Amino acid sequence: MLYQFGPGHPFNPIRTKMTVDLLQCMGSLDDSYILTPRFAREEEILLGHSKDYVDFVKSIDDAGTLDGHAIDEELLLNYGIGTEDTPIFKNMHRAGLMAAGGTLEAIDLVLQGKAKHALSLMGGLHHALSGKGSGFCIYNDIVIGIKHILKNYHKKVLYIDTDAHHGDGVQWAFYDEPGVCTLSLHETGKYLFPGTGAVHERGSGAGYAFTVNIPLEPFTEDDSFIESYRESFEKVAEYFKPDIIITQNGADAHYQDPLTHLMLTMKSYHFIPKLAHELAHKYCQGKWVALGGGGYNIFQVVPRAWALIWLEMIHYQGRLDTLPRTWIEKWQKYWDGPIPEKWSDPQHPYEAIPRKEEISYKNEMNLKNALYSISNELVHKLDQRF
Amino acid sequence: MIVKEIMKTDLKTVLPSATIYDAVRIMKTHNLRHLPVVNESFHLLGIISDRDLRDEGVDVFQMEDNNELQNAVATVMSTNLITGTPLDFIEEAAALLYEFKIGCLPIVLNKKLVGIITGTDILNTFVQITGSHKPSSRIEIRIPNIPGILCPITYVFQRRRLNIISILLYPAEDEKHDRLVIRVQAMNTDAIVKELKEEGFDVIWPETL
Ligand SMILES: [Zn+2]
Ligand SMILES: [Zn+2]
């Protein structure tokens, strides 16, 4: 648990612990399936980041503070470090190495045929840019992982991002790369960080039409989300015919998440890994790596949403009704709010959204617009290229 | 922002003696809707637009056996031109395009054509100004229309060491208020929004149900 910004910061590593514990409490996670992640090597980090940025992060790694360092504010701001979002903490370089190491190991397991599916919940840090930390992310393990695939396995990668925030760091890293297709569903950048992810961002050069963005209106609910996700994922998978699927499973689009304005319930978090699993078997002989990501309601939302990914991966057949009592009692000690008792959310958990119809309609139009270009462009391009 | 910063300087032009056929071909090849006509010293003499050509009855789809296309461009170009200078503000250029319902504004310095600016260029700039060119979150505040009101607001941002990426201020529905849109370089805006509210500002986005 090295990735720790400090008390009060919404990005909290307890999330992963709680998820693992939940699965163990219900007897669905055998110890033999848990691997200790390795640290990524520095040359692997450099696949996704500029040397000067990595050197800078390293230079503040030990101290964990700027005390005694003659680092000027401007430099910090330039590197996106030491900000309110991404404060400095001890071991921040090594924490980044570990998150990336977990993702690299998950990818290797799957591509070396040692496992069909792998899950690395510390990964999924989709905002970090080549020379800059951003949005709680220091190193972009996803970019590093995908570059690793391109370099060592030469496979076509479909990346799908259902975090409530646009997957900007990953999109820009592969914007002109036709071997990587990125699909991001997110709350529209008109309202939410980072501001990008409009329908018209479709890639450039050889990568044109291999970037797909489905922006969603604030207060989007399950039905509209599931429809957008299902339709776009199926269509993109069909045209791109990936060799491996990488999912970023940020769980911050839930109605109880404090940072965003999407209104999903557990119904969506049930469906998200289900479809990824189905399409991975349909197109990639099962090759599927799932990563974590955002998710800032750590007690009520994230453990349930992330446990469902694992349960989907092991083809869990049991009924999911109430959560294990032991688990609830254990974690209740750490929080004064109510920990949910059931896997699903209540029937009508929030007041009816007044603009529901307009919101769904707008999402539908965006979806159509986003897919229009891939249905024409991708077919044509793939015919030429592969 | 001034015209010089966004005007196109890689220009396609024709001499007045060129044929309409040549002009149309250049416009089609480079996907242009306007083509400036200049003399050897690059003095602007006129402009050919696809609209002018259509008005003249030039059918660009029947290029081959059409004698009219062999006429010089000087016979069809518009000569009564509205032009701008590189130092004009972009909003002035936009106002000219809007007022005279024209699609492009040739930019002239010392009689010489130095650039061209189109409605699309201006629209693009507007998209840049109002959009987010850096990862940032949007905060919208309804503020009273009184002197000095921005100061206490930006002070809150300074106190939290938050970098402001862009600011847009426009009139609200009533005269007594304005709407202020600030894009701030942060993903988590909880703390800043809380502080703004505590200081009594009417934050209308992020919206809570
Ligand atoms: Zn997120
Ligand atoms: Zn499977």
pLDDT tens digits, residue range B15-35? Answer: 999 999 899 889 988 988 899
Which H/E stretch holds residue A138?
A: none
Identify from B182, B188, B203 which residue to disrupt to test chain A contact, counting A C-beta atoms within 10 A and taking the largest count: B188
CA distance A153 to chain B (A): 32
Rounded to whole angstroms, the Cα distance separating B139 from B145 reads: 18
Identify from B134, B187, B204 which residue to disrupt to test chain A contact, counting A C-beta atoms within 10 A and taking the largest count: B187
pLDDT of A385: 46
CA distance A29 to chain B (A): 33
Q: Which chain B residues are closer than 8 Å to A219 by Cβ?
A: 209
User: Are A83 and B188 inside 8 Å of each other by CB?
Assistant: no
Rounded to whole angstroms, the Cα distance separating A126 from A378 reads: 24
pLDDT of A325: 96
Low-confidence residues of chain A: pLDDT under 70: 1-11, 62-72, 376-386
Rounded to whole angstroms, the Cα distance separating A83 from B38 reads: 54
pLDDT of A65: 61
Rounded to whole angstroms, the Cα distance separating A142 from A125 reads: 7
Catalytic residue among A127, A166, A186, A254: A127
Task: Tell me, in angstroms, the distance from the centre of ligand 2 to residue A367's CA.
Answer: 28
Nearest chain B Cα to A169, which residue? B135
User: Are B186 and A192 inside 8 Å of each other by CB?
Assistant: no
Q: Which chain B residues are closer than 8 Å to A254 by Cβ?
A: none
Rounded to whole angstroms, the Cα distance separating B48 from A139 reads: 53
**B209: DSSP letter:** -
Cβ contact B108:B114 at 8 Å = yes
pLDDT of B153: 95
In the structure encoding, which two tokens stand for residue A195, read together? 């501001």
Q: Which of B134, B137, B162 sits opposite A192 (nearest CB)?
A: B137
Rounded to whole angstroms, the Cα distance separating A365 from A313 reads: 33
Please give the sequence-ordered ranges of beta strands (E in DSSP) within chain B, or none if there are none. 34-38, 44-49, 104-109, 112-118, 137-144, 164-171, 177-184, 202-205
Q: Letter for the amino acid at A9?
A: H
Task: Tell me, in angstroms, the distance from the centre of ligand 2 to residue A124's CA.
Answer: 21
Q: Which of A134, A191, A219 sits opposite B138 (nearest CB)?
A: A191
- Interface predicted TM-score (ipTM): 0.73
pLDDT of B64: 60
pLDDT of A1: 39
Q: Which chain B residues are closer than 8 Å to A168 by Cβ?
A: 135
Rounded to whole angstroms, the Cα distance separating A280 from B72 reads: 64
pLDDT of B133: 76
Per the prediction, chain B carries an average pLDDT of 89
Rounded to whole angstroms, the Cα distance separating A36 from A28 reads: 18
Ligand nearest to the backbone CA of A276: 2
User: Half-sphere exposure of residue A267, counting CA atoms within 13 Å on the CB side?
Assistant: 16
Rounded to whole angstroms, the Cα distance separating A260 from B188 reads: 9
In this complex, is the C-beta atom of A74 within 8 Å of any C-beta atom belonging to chain B? no
Q: Which chain A residues are closer than 8 Å to B207 by Cβ?
A: 218, 261
Q: Which chain A residues are closer than 8 Å to B209 by Cβ?
A: 219, 350-351, 353
pLDDT of B184: 92
A127 is catalytic: yes
pLDDT of A85: 84
Identify from A88, A193, A350 which residue to disrupt to test chain B contact, counting B C-beta atoms within 10 A and taking the largest count: A193
In this complex, is the C-beta atom of B41 within 8 Å of any C-beta atom belonging to chain A? no
User: Are A194 and B132 inside 8 Å of each other by CB?
Assistant: yes
User: Are B187 and A195 inside 8 Å of each other by CB?
Assistant: no
Ligand nearest to the backbone CA of A162: 1
pLDDT of B127: 76
Q: Which of A85, A194, A218 sits opposite B188 (nearest CB)?
A: A85
Ligand nearest to the backbone CA of A117: 2
Rounded to whole angstroms, the Cα distance separating A43 from A340 reads: 43
Q: Which of B132, B162, B188 sits opposite A196 (nearest CB)?
A: B132
Q: Which chain A residues are closer than 8 Å to B161 by Cβ?
A: 83-84
- What does the pLDDT average to over B111-131? 87
In this complex, is the C-beta atom of B120 within 8 Å of any C-beta atom belonging to chain A? no
Q: Which chain A residues are closer than 8 Å to B183 by Cβ?
A: 195
Distances in whole angstroms, Cα of residue A252 to Cα of each of A6, A61, B113:
20, 28, 54
pLDDT of A78: 85
pLDDT of A67: 56
Global confidence as pTM: 0.83
| Cis check: omega of the bond before B206, within 30 degrees of 0 | yes
In the structure encoding, which two tokens stand for residue B92, read together? 């002035």
In this complex, is the C-beta atom of B185 within 8 Å of any C-beta atom belonging to chain A? yes
pLDDT tens digits, residue range A311-354? Answer: 999 999 999 999 999 999 999 999 999 999 999 999 989 999 98
In this complex, is the C-beta atom of A192 within 8 Å of any C-beta atom belonging to chain B? yes
Q: Longest C-alpha distance within chain B, in Å?
A: 76
In the structure encoding, which two tokens stand for residue A267, read together? 């119904």
* Torsion, Cα of B62, B66, B68, B73 (10° steps): 60
User: Are B136 and A195 inside 8 Å of each other by CB?
Assistant: yes
pLDDT of A323: 97
Q: Determine the distance from the C-alpha atom of residue A289 to the mean position of all C-alpha atoms in its chain, rounded to a whole number.
A: 11
In this complex, is the C-beta atom of A356 within 8 Å of any C-beta atom belonging to chain B? no
pLDDT of A384: 53
Cα distance between the two ends of chain A: 42
In this complex, is the C-beta atom of A190 within 8 Å of any C-beta atom belonging to chain B? yes
